[in-house]
């Protein structure tokens, strides 16, 4: 099977490329420089030449503040980009696997969201991703839309300068006596390695549709940080950040836990608990195989640069 991976040099894309090759597939890996999903011409020319049977789209404009500053560009990438891919995938009779987000919900439900719950995004990012879902559903034929949450992985996140919450916590623990983390946002931390395995599993099926795809269980960012330090046996004074200590620049859902209901109903849910995914990720440190690439030094600035402590955006 020939698989085209869009955004192959991104945090998730690199793991999808690795997992797809591990499964024995031929991979056409396209970086953000090689293909522009906002351009229908770029999509058409590149994918028609590659002639894949499966297209995996991990590319997106997902820096929340940048989406607010550039809403038109966000719509072009997240909305129209998804439409461009759906049109070409249909022409090729190829399966399209598209990554979406928990930010299509407003967080007011207070319990895990299922696929049939009404979406109500709070910001430009969530709205443009929801538009992308709608375009695929209206235009596509063989598609999988996977909503996921709070991603972290071995490969740096390009849009956020290499930020990774786990690596940031480990770095801060070395540099500071005290670390403060918010506890008023509840998520399901999901490793890109686990999501990549789910992508490959679905690519072997014809169970098309919209799915929630996150690690099982949920926690606050503070609880996530606590688990990181406990697993790594790191002693640090971890405290809950005071209310409004790190003001939110853009509205975000306070509770964005997703239930993998349709994956489970189809017998296709490959995810374990978020703690297992975290342990697997941290075991790489024990083998000297941590984050690929450097975490920028400015990430050590707790007040100004932290992706979670200052709530600058989803880790997708």
8 Å CB contact between 37 and 85: yes
* 211 has catalytic annotation: no
Q: How much is the pLDDT for 305?
A: 31
Cα–Cα distance, 100 to 146 (Å, whole number) = 6
Among the listed residues 125, 143, 152, 281, the single catalytic one is 125
Cα–Cα distance, 270 to 152 (Å, whole number) = 17
pLDDT band at residue 71, thresholds of 50, 70 and 90? Answer: very high
Cα–Cα distance, 229 to 163 (Å, whole number) = 18
Mean pLDDT over residues 208-220, rounded? 96
The position carrying tokens 């008023």 is 184
Q: Residue 261: how many CB atoms within 10 A of its CB? A: 17
Cα–Cα distance, 91 to 192 (Å, whole number) = 29
Which tokens belong to 194? 């686990």
The torsion angles phi and psi of 146, rounded to 5 degrees, stand at -115, 110
CA 42 to chain centre: 24
Cα–Cα distance, 43 to 36 (Å, whole number) = 7
Which tokens belong to 152? 């972290």
CA–CA distances in Å: residue 161 to residues 61, 105, 127, 280, 315? 13, 26, 24, 24, 12
- Considering only residues 302 and 198, tell me which one the structure prediction assigns the higher pLDDT: 198
Going by C-beta distance under 8 Å and a sequence separation of 6 or more, which residues neighbour residue 298? 161, 304, 305
Residue 73 pLDDT greater than 70, yes or no: yes
SS3 277: helix
* pLDDT-above-90 percentage for the chain: 69
Lowest mean pLDDT among 113-122, 141-150, 227-236, 245-254: 245-254
CA 234 to chain centre: 27
Q: How much is the pLDDT for 289?
A: 55
- Considering only residues 297 and 49, tell me which one the structure prediction assigns the higher pLDDT: 49
H/E/C letters for each residue in 226-256? HHHHHHCCCCCEEEECCCCCCCCCCCCCCEC
pLDDT band at residue 299, thresholds of 50, 70 and 90? Answer: very low
Dump the DSSP string for 25-54. -EEEEE-TTT--TT-HHHHHHHHHHH--SE
Which tokens belong to 110? 């207070």
Query: Which tens digits make up the pLDDT trace of 151-189?
Result: 998 886 666 556 688 888 888 888 888 888 888 889 999
pLDDT band at residue 316, thresholds of 50, 70 and 90? Answer: very low
Q: How much is the pLDDT for 311?
A: 31
Cα–Cα distance, 257 to 53 (Å, whole number) = 32
The position carrying tokens 């880790």 is 315
Residues 194-203 as b/e (b if ≥16 CB within 10 A, e otherwise) read: bbbbbbbebb
Q: What is the pLDDT of the chain when averaged over all its residues? A: 87
Query: Which tens digits make up the pLDDT trace of 125-144?
Result: 999 999 999 999 999 889 99
Q: How much is the pLDDT for 297?
A: 29
- Considering only residues 75 and 167, tell me which one the structure prediction assigns the higher pLDDT: 75
Q: How much is the pLDDT for 291?
A: 53
Residue 254 pLDDT greater than 70, yes or no: yes
- Considering only residues 158 and 206, tell me which one the structure prediction assigns the higher pLDDT: 206
Mean pLDDT over residues 252-277, rounded? 95
Which of 312, 292, 308 is closest to 17 using CA atoms?
292
Query: Which tens digits make up the pLDDT trace of 19-63?
Result: 999 999 999 999 988 999 999 999 999 999 999 999 999 999 988
């Amino acid at each position: 099977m020939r698989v085209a991976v869009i955004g192959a040099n991104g945090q998730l894309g690199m793991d999808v490329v690795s997992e797809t090759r591990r499964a024995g597939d031929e991979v056409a890996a396209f970086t953000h420089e090689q293909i522009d999903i906002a351009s229908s011409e770029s999509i058409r020319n590149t994918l028609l030449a590659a002639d894949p049977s499966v297209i995996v789209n991990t590319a997106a404009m997902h820096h929340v503040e940048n989406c607010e500053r550039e809403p038109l560009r966000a719509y072009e990438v997240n909305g129209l980009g998804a439409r461009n891919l759906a049109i070409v995938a249909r022409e090729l009779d190829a399966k399209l696997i598209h990554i979406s987000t928990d930010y299509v919900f407003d967080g007011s439900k207070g319990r895990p969201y299922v696929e049939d719950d009404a979406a109500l995004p709070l910001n430009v990012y969530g709205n443009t991703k929801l538009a992308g879902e709608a375009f695929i559903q209206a235009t596509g034929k063989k598609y999988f839309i996977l909503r996921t949450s709070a991603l972290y992985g071995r490969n740096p996140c390009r849009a956020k300068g290499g930020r990774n919450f786990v690596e940031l916590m480990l770095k801060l623990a070395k540099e500071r006596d005290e670390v403060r983390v918010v506890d008023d946002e509840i998520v399901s931390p999901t490793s890109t390695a686990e999501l990549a395995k789910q992508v490959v599993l679905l690519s072997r099926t014809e169970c098309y549709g919209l799915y929630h795809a996150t690690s099982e269980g949920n926690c606050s960012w503070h609880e996530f940080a606590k688990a990181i330090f406990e697993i790594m046996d790191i002693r640090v004074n971890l405290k809950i950040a005071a209310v409004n200590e790190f003001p939110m620049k853009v509205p975000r859902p306070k509770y964005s836990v997703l239930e993998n209901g349709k994956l489970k109903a189809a017998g296709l849910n490959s995810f374990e608990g978020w703690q297992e995914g975290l342990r697997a990720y941290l075991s790489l440190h024990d083998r000297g195989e941590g984050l690929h690439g450097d975490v920028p030094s400015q990430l050590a600035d707790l007040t100004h640069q932290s992706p979670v402590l200052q709530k600058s955006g989803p880790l997708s």
